[in-house]
Structures are given as structure tokens and as C-alpha cells.
Amino acid sequence: MEPLGIIKGYTVLLDHEKMNYELKVLAEITASKGKLFEMEQAVSKLPGTCAVYDVTGLTDAVVITKFHGRDELSKFTKSLLATPFVERTNTHVVLTTVKEDFRLL
């Protein structure tokens, strides 16, 4: 599978809670018209960002983030709102993680 590019690399599974990442946040973002790519590139570089997805629906992108505490979340939120081409955000703090496993097998 490696020669076919199916296996892209190897990693370890970390327990983020034991590393004191206490907050997991999903942020929905609406981008300026025609500026989705530029917005996503800028957001992907913000500290705490784990994933950035193009999505269908009322918003243009969803960002998954993790933070040690409220101060980091506050800084991220302010940075996000100051990011070029971010028109609007809708932030969701995760209360309970029922399942989080990105392995397919």
C-alpha cells in the first residue's frame, strides 16, 4: 500500500486530555465571496487548528481546534475574526466527546 500512496505515513495516538488540552472547539466560518481558499490557508496557520474542511450548507468551512484553556480559545477567536476574508463565525464548544477516531480500520 505504501508504493500506491494509500499509506501516507505513520503516527502515534495521543491522549490530548492527559496533555491538558481541555477544550475542543468546532468553528463554522463564512468566507468573503471568492476568497475561500485564501481564508482557509490563513486559518490553517492559527495556533490550535487541527483540521480545516470545505463544507456544504450555510457556512463555507469548519475548523476543528483544541486548546489548553479559555485564554487560548479567546486568543484564537479574536485571531480568527481578524483573519482576512472571514465574514462570520459560529463557534461550538464540545461538551462531551462520544467518539473521536479517524482510523478507518
Tens of pLDDT along 64-104? 999 999 999 999 999 999 999 999 999 999 999 999 888 77
Higher pLDDT, 103 or 29: 29
Strand pairing report for 23-31 and 86-93: antiparallel
CATH of 23-93 among 3.40.47.10, 3.40.50.300, 3.30.70.920, 3.90.79.10? 3.30.70.920
Whether residue 100 contacts residue 50, with contact meaning beta carbons closer than 8 Å, is answered with: no
Q: Determine the length of the chain.
A: 105
Domain definitions of the chain by residue range: 23-93
